[in-house]
Amino acid sequence: MQYFVNVTLTGLTEGMVYAAFALALVLIWRSTRIVNFAQGSMAAATTFIALALIQDGQSYWVALVVALASGFVLGAVVERVVIRPVEGGPELNAVIVTLGLFVAIQAGIAIVFGSSFQSFGTPFGLQGFQVGDDRIALTPNSVFVIVSVLLTMALLVVLFRFTRVGLAMRASAFGQEVARLLGVRVGRMLTLGWALAAVVGSLAGLLIAGGEFVYPAYMDSLIVFGFVAAVLGGLDSPVGAIVGGLVLGLALSYVSGYVERGSALVNVAALAILMVVLLVRPGGLFASSTARRA
Amino acid sequence: MSDLQSPAAPAGRADDEAPGPATAAADEPTPTGRRTLLPGSTLLRHLLVLAVAAVGAVVLLEITDPFTNSQLATLSYYAIAAGGLTVLTGMNGQISLGHGALMAVGAYTTALFLSAEEPLPLPLILLAAVVVATAVGALVGVAAARLHGPYLAGATLALAVGLPGLAIYFHDLLGGEQGLRVRAPRAPEAFDSFISAVSGNAASNTKWLAYLGAICLLITYFLLANLVHSRIGRTWRAVRDQEVAAELAGIDLGLWRVLAFTVSAAAAGLAGGVLALVVRLAAPSGFTLVLSLSLLTAIVIGGLGSLLGALLGSALLVFLPPFVTDLGSDWGLNDTEAAQLAPFVYGVVLVVVMIFAPAGVVGTVRRRWLTRRATRSAAGPSGG
């Protein structure tokens, strides 16, 4: 029973990170109908910036703020420079451009920061809380992970629901022509959308790195998990991304915890889940029926 | 309604006729009144090209040093896989980021069959690699046929990241992280005497593998070139360019998509088999996501939808890294940093090509050529 609780808690914590990463993909998909396969590399880049600052003696929080800020800039630059020319074009071209970015940024990280494994610290402990006589798999760090993802989601809800900028962004995503006629600077809103998504992605990258080793390709699985989570939720729905992330986190945690040598099967399990969902419900669990055609 | 858009629309313009190797010019329908020395039948023309290419391959392999020989062996398996991917992505408009995983299937099959006490003859083993990869490809293809664009990319991405995990899980059979060593069979005596008859050089094992790769490459491209010029190829392009019209014409879109995936997986399986022989190892580290993305790079740079483009792109994959790495060392980068310069260049080139020349090298050159020819013979419509 205690083992089950621990596996579940681990799954929920990791699921929150997948949810955040999926949310970043969904933000971009909603505004530009592009899946940003470079998301993982971009997040890795900002994580390495944070790592460099921490190794330089700065505090975790300074590093966190700088990493998120550089994520914002990176997202905006990427949208302006390389995504703008392929936006609205054939799907294949956009996919290939984000894949090119994926490879280039990952190699760039290796050139600038080296490709060795480096440990990434956490602001909080990795020792599980004591409940009665047992230690459970909920650590101060996982509380930090869960709280920061929830906080980010709350901030996004406030932004999109209650501010003028949020309204303009929703309008740009919903109908570019109409929004433009009503005086919305659509281009600017799309750039902002990519920048915000990159911030959320960077946060996910930093959170998954905490207490682990990082290397330029450490986000490779996460881009798959994030994509699977987003597709589980329908790719179009922020709520779906969160639910999808949690479901995936739990599922993968159970595979890794209950199947013998299951940790080798985590990526395969993600593949299997994706295949089943796409075959049974290609639109995802939360998507409106038209979402995939738009 | 992105369903209606052809995923490779800009590339597709100039690609209506996809060339076999080195036949870019010959493939254009000859306008009346223009004489050509090449035979009119596609099959005969491809046989002629095959013969010329075979002679060219022998000459190339005999005049180059052993190191270049081994580079050419590497080129052959990249090009075989890229040729298959061209059929899938270029002709049929389905993107796959999972072809590295399908190569792994071929490589592991080859390694397992070769590790038997009394291994089967090599052609049979490679055929087995093709068959197994084809079966896996058909399975994936059934799922993939219902997906498009980013969904397909994501699903095949998951394949590339997930499948090597199986090799670690079944480590008793597949050797885990270390992988399986491959005992490449010795060259037959007929080969040795052939080499000494042709050039007087001694036949080394490296050379044998290079020849093996070249033979597989020529056979694959010959078959693929004929396939894409047949009714099957035209149907694939119809499915890619005019989904609705194709469906109205009674074409079962799903079936043809699965077929394209299967054919392309067969090529990937053969490529994996050749890779296992050349590298002498089938291990998860050999089939990273970067491999799958490199194949995509090759076909995009060469020109989506052209086998010649796939060959050129593969050559770039083989010959660019040493060049770029040297350049990096000259700039004062250390070895590991310099090694990352090649993927960096691939990535940048992928982005730049997609933005400025989506038709790739072959497509862009061909389009220029067609435009020039059209303006020259302005009297009537030419070139189809």
Is residue A5 included in any domain, yes or no? yes
Burial A79-115 (b: 16+ CB within 10 A, else e): beebbbbbbebbbbbbbbbbbbbbbbbbbbbbbebbb
Containing structural domain, residue A214: 1-280
Half-sphere exposure of A20 (CA within 13 A, CB side): 30
**Residue B77 pLDDT grade (very low, low, confident, very high; cuts 50, 70, 90):** very high
Chain B environment of A264 (Cβ under 8 Å): 165-166, 168-169
Please tell me the total count of domains within chain B.
Answer: 1
Range of the domain at B124: 42-287
Residue A163 domain flag: yes
Subunit contact B2:A82, Cβ cutoff 8 A: no
Residue B103 lies inside a defined structural domain of this protein: yes
Is the Cβ pair A102, B293 closer than 8 Å? yes
Contact B80/B217 with Cβ under 8 angstroms?
yes
Segment B29-56 shows an average pLDDT of: 72
The predicted pLDDT at position B275 comes to 94
Q: pLDDT value at position B37? A: 65
Judged by CB atoms closer than 8 Å, whether chains meet at A270 and B9 is answered as: no
- Residue A286 belongs to a domain: no
CB-CB neighbors (< 8 A) of B163 in chain A: 268, 271
Å from A211 to nearest chain B CA?
Answer: 23
Residue B138 belongs to some domain of the structure: yes
Of B149, B165, B348, the CB nearest to A267: B165
Reply yes or no on whether the pLDDT at B251 is more than 90: no
Neighbours of A125 (CB within 10 A): 12
Contacts of B342 in chain A (CB under 8 A): 107
A64 contacts A85 by C-beta, under 8 angstroms: no
Residue B35: inside a domain: no
Residue B217 has pLDDT above 90, yes or no: yes
Taking a C-beta distance cutoff of 8 angstroms, is the pair B46, B222 a contact? Answer: yes
Nearest to A90 among B10, B147, B293 (CB): B10
Residuewise pLDDT in 10s, chain A (294 residues)? 778 888 898 899 899 999 999 999 998 888 888 889 999 999 999 999 999 999 988 888 999 999 999 999 999 999 999 998 888 778 888 888 999 999 999 999 998 988 888 888 777 777 777 777 777 777 888 888 899 999 998 998 898 888 888 888 888 877 878 888 888 888 888 899 999 999 999 999 999 888 788 888 888 888 889 999 998 888 888 888 899 999 999 999 999 888 877 777 888 888 888 888 877 776 666 665 444 443
Q: Is B10 on the interface with A (CB under 8 A)?
A: yes
**What does the alpha-carbon distance between residue A203 and residue A67 come to, in Å, rounded to a whole number?**
8
pLDDT tens, residue by residue, A63-83: 999 999 999 999 999 999 999
Joined together, the tokens standing for residue B211 give 């020849």
Which pLDDT belongs to residue A288?
Answer: 56
pLDDT of residue B12: 38
One DSSP character per residue, A219-237 reads THHHHHHHHHHHHHTTSS-
User: Mean pLDDT throughout B126-131?
Assistant: 94
B16, part of any domain: no
Q: Which residue of A has its CA nearest to B335?
A: A111
**Residues in CB range of B150: below 8 A, 6 or more apart:** A29, A34, A35, A91, A94, A95
Residue of A nearest to B328 (CA): A111
Mean pLDDT of B167-193: 81
Residue A87 lies in a domain: yes
Residue B6: predicted pLDDT = 41
Least Cα separation, residue B339 to chain A (angstroms): 9
- pLDDT for B92 beyond 90: no
Interface test with B, best of A25, A32, A81, A99 (most B CBs within 10 A): A99
Tell me if chain A has a CB within 8 Å of the CB of B323: no
Specify the pLDDT at position A76: 95
* Helix or strand run (H / E) with residue A213: strand A213-214
Number of CB pairs, chain A paired with chain B, less than 8 A apart? 172
What's the rounded mean pLDDT across residues B82-92? 90
Nearest CA to CA, how far is A156 from chain B (Å)?
25
Establish if B345 belongs to a structural domain. Answer: no
Mean per-residue pLDDT of chain B: 81
Cβ partners under 8 Å of residue A18, min gap 6: A204, A222, A225, A226, A229, A244, A245, A246, A248, A249
Cβ atoms < 10 Å from Cβ of B326: 12
Taking the Cβ of residue B1 and every Cβ of chain A, the question of whether any pair is shorter than 8 Å is answered with: yes
What does the pLDDT read at residue B127? 94
Residue B16 pLDDT exceeds 60:
no
What is the rounded distance in angstroms from the CA atom of residue A76 to the CA atom of residue A98?
Answer: 14
pLDDT per position as a tens digit, B321-363? 888 888 888 887 777 778 888 888 889 988 998 888 877 778 8
Q: Do B2 and A97 touch (CB under 8 A)?
A: no
B-chain residues within 8 Å CB-CB of A248? Answer: none
Angle at which helices B205-229 and B66-85 cross, to 10°: 20
Asked whether the predicted pLDDT for residue B15 surpasses 60, the reply is no
DSSP B283-320: -GGGS-HHHHHHHHHHHHHH-TT-HHHHHHHHHHHHHH
CA distance A130 to chain B (A): 34
Distance from CA of A63 to the nearest CA of B (A): 25
- pLDDT tens digit sequence for B270-307: 999 999 999 988 888 888 888 888 898 889 888 887 88
With a pLDDT cut of 90, the percent of chain B lying above it is 22
Q: Tokens 């406030």, residue?
A: A158
How sure is the predictor about B30, in pLDDT bands with cuts at 50, 70 and 90? very low
Note the pLDDT of residue B99.
92
Q: How much is the pLDDT for B38? A: 66
**Distance between CA atoms of residues B157 and A271, nearest Å:** 9
Interface membership of B169 toward A (CB under 8 Å): yes
The strand pair at A118-119 and B281-282 is best described as: unpaired
Quick one: three-class SS letters along A104-145? HHHHHHHHHHCCCCEECCCCCCCCCCEECCEECCCCHHHHHH
Q: How many domains does chain A have?
A: 1
Whether A15 is in a domain gets the answer: yes
The pLDDT score that the predictor gives to residue B4 is 39
Q: B 122-161 residues with CB below 8 A of A?
A: 143, 146-151, 153-155, 157-159, 161
- Minimal-distance CA residue of chain B relative to A261: B169
Domain contains B340: no
Q: Is the ipTM of this complex over 0.90?
A: no
Is residue B50 assigned to a domain? yes
Query: Which residues in chain A touch residue B169, judged by CB atoms under 8 angstroms apart?
Result: 261, 264-265, 268
Nearest to A278 among B155, B336, B354 (CB): B155
Closest CB to A282: pick one of B146, B157, B169: B146
How far, in Å, CA of B44 to CA of A109, rounded? 51
pLDDT score of B106 more than 90: yes
- CATH number of the structural domain spanning residue A130: 1.10.3470
Domain-located, residue A161: yes
Structural domain contains residue A3: yes
